[in-house]
Structure 1
Amino acid sequence: MKTIAYLRVSTDKQDLNNQKLEILEYGRKNGFNIDDFFEVEMSSRKTPKQRRINELTKRLCEGDTLIVSELSRLGRSVGQVVFFIDGLIKSKIRLISIKERLDLNGKHDLQSKTMLTMFTLFSEIERDLISERTKQGLAAARAKGKILGRPRGSIGKSKLDGKERVIAEDLKYGVSKAAIARKLGVSRTSLVNFIKTREI
């Protein structure tokens, strides 16, 4: 059984060192050594693949321990963190998060189930809050008279803009729409829509 520390930071080396020292001190006080440091320097906006989460998971086996300075290192959202923790519990991997004073022993016991339920609830609350903030923002924009989205009846830009005369002449001489579309490098559907919206 081994203990792996997961460190995720931006380009700030100071933060990386602080995490290392915090984890080493925690291990010293609690009587265990860190066998390996898994370091990832990056933005929180990266995908799980870019955070090397899958690679980390493959290195952990049943009975191993994963330690982090705080849970936010594991994902961009509560939902991602919950999903990851659930995977650790199912794989019987212990998780320690120092900031939250969390120690999940990797077993399907009452403590682990309770914590996971709480995290899931927080994830749902977070999602609802984001949705509500979005709705409030749109409502506030409408109240200020801002037009959201493309105005009804407006015509978007097209690759065929400026080709109206050519299209009209080809149609006049009986050239098929499919042939015109091929000549202009667009699909027949795009051409038909263009003709309709431009009233050619």
Structure 2
Amino acid sequence: MPRNIAYLRVSNLDQDLEKNKAYILHLANEKNLGKVEFMQEKVSGKVSWRQRKIAQVLEDMKKGDVILLSEFSRLAQSMLECMKIISITMKKGISIYTVKGNWMILFRVKSWR
């Protein structure tokens, strides 16, 4: 059964995780994704994604799993790092949904005739 992992990263404790959780749960419900597991951490975006929990999340995820985000900036500080993560998810068959911007990067199996 596919897993739906919501990744929440804040750089300081003043940021409102509960509001982000509510938005993500609303998105998951809207897309009929089912149960959502939350992975959260407090760490600066300046710390490489490879040294944060998102690296382990990506390692553990399998084809058909979904990552939910409040926005792409929660993944990484730079566009280059975001693109690297997206590349990994596409290779592994993992879809990404974001609340802000309503982004959907979906893995789809192509059938060739």
TM-score norm. by structure 1 comes to 0.50
- Backbone CA RMSD of aligned residues: 1.7
Change in Cα spacing, 1:58 to 1:100, as seen in structure 2 (3 Å) is same
Decide which structure has greater strand share: 2
Distance 1:108 1:75, change over 3 A: farther
Deviations 1:71-111 (A, max 9, x none): 011111000001110110111111111212111112377xx
Amino acid in structure 2 at the alignment position of 1:62 = K
Instruction: Name the counterpart of 1:58.
Output: 59
Counterpart CA distance in 1 for 2:35 and 2:43 is: 22
Which SS does the other structure have where 1:39 is aligned?
strand
Q: Which residue of 1 aligns with 2:100?
A: 99
Give the C-alpha shift of residue 14 in structure 1. 4.5
AA aligned to 2:22 is: L
Higher fraction of helix:
1
CA 1:11–1:36 in structure 2 vs 1: closer, same or farther (change >3 Å)? same
Letter in 1 for 2:48: T
**Unaligned regions of 5+ residues in structure 1, if any?**
110-200
Secondary structure of the structure 2 residue equivalent to 1:100: helix
Task: Give how far 1:32 is off.
Answer: 2.4
Q: Which 5+ residue runs of structure 2 have no aligned equivalent?
A: none
Q: 8 Å contact 2:93–2:107 — kept in the other structure? A: yes
- Number of residue-to-residue matches in the alignment: 109
In structure 2, distance between residues paired with 1:21 and 1:7: 12
Structure 2 SS opposite 1:6: strand
The structure whose Rg is larger is 1
Percent identity of the aligned residues? 28
TM-score by length of 2: 0.85
CA contact (8 A) 2:66 2:97 kept: yes
Offset of residue 13 of structure 1:
5.3
Where does structure 1 differ by over 6 angstroms across 4 or more consecutive aligned residues? none
CA distance in 2, matches of 1:34, 1:19: 16
Partner of 2:21: 20
| 1:48 partner letter | W
Equivalence for 2:76: 75
SS at match of 2:6: strand
- In structure 1, how many angstroms separate the alpha carbons of the residues matched to 2:27 and 2:100? 11
Aligned-partner residue type, residue 58 of structure 2: T
Q: Supply the distance in 2 between the matched residues of 1:108 and 1:43 (Cα, whole angstroms).
A: 35
Structure with more relative contact order (C-alpha pairs < 8 Å, separation 6 or more): 2
CA distance in 2, matches of 1:97, 1:4: 12
